[in-house]
Amino acid sequence: MDEPHDQLDLPGFRFHPTEEELLNFYLKSMVLGKKLRGDIIGFLNIYNHDPKDLPGLAKIGEREWYFFVPRDRKHGSGGRPSRTTKNGFWKATGSDRKVLSMSDLKKMLGLKKTLVFYEGRAPRGRRTDWIMNEYRLPDSCSPPSKDIVLCKIYRKATSLKVLEQRAAMEEEVKTYSSPSPLTSSLHPVSSSDQFEDVNSTSSNRRISTCTGLVLPNGIENLAELQVPKIGIDWNQDCLWTLENLTPYLPMCQFSL
């Protein structure tokens, strides 16, 4: 009698098979038509779905999800498999790798292909962190292999170093994009500045509505203030603030 699936939902149970077990037991049993105890790996055409939807369609898995997948070839049985989805495509990286038996290193159990999911259409597309390992039996296996492969889907782990670099870049962007308090508070001064009369206990003075500077008696505008000429080397980094100009504006006061 087959083992019910709900018996597999036990605390602490993890499905983490080796590559040899995936090929020599699970995939080979599926190709030979042997019924396995426990419905652990489901049969699904993953190319009809986006990678982000696959974890919810798997029988089991937390960080890795497994599927038996039919190979949909472009041009008959001899053509290349089609791995295009609605919103992207799976692109192979490198050549196939042989999977050898741990007990007999001369015995090849099958082949492994690694693919990365790209959003968009080939040849252009945006690389994502979704990875797939496709396992298939060798063509020389007896009986002849059906066009069925076993796929393991997972997301590439992001290293702590990369996360720290992203956080540093985001902080740097915030620093350069935020306006400086000094530059946001200064306004250009022209001869058309408007002034308002203000009363003082000692004398009548005038305040500039643009700069907030209080001018003493007899001064009609900022142009009449005698500010010494200062030689500035513009090749050097200079940051002028109101504190730099204070020695040269002895008669000006800030209005609170």
d(C-alpha 133, C-alpha 230), whole Å: 70
Q: Model pTM?
A: 0.58
Give the per-residue pLDDT at 211: 52
Give the per-residue pLDDT at 167: 82
Q: Where are the alpha helices (DSSP H) in 15-111?
A: 19-21, 28-32
The strand pair at 64-70 and 42-43 is best described as parallel
Task: State yes or no: cis peptide before 228, omega within 30 of 0.
Answer: no
Q: Where are the alpha helices (DSSP H) in 12-123?
A: 19-21, 28-32
142-179 pLDDT, tens per residue? 566 568 999 999 998 877 777 778 788 888 887 877 66
Please, what are the domains in the chain? 5-157 (2.170.150.80), 184-231+238-256 (no CATH)
d(C-alpha 231, C-alpha 225), whole Å: 18
- Residue 159 CB contacts under 8 Å (≥ 6 apart), including other chains: none
Q: Is the pLDDT of residue 121 over 60?
A: yes
Average pLDDT over every residue of 242-251: 49
At residue 215, φ and ψ (nearest 5 deg) are -100, 140
d(C-alpha 67, C-alpha 44), whole Å: 6
Mean pLDDT of the chain: 74
CA distances from 246 to 103, 187, 249 (A): 86, 17, 5
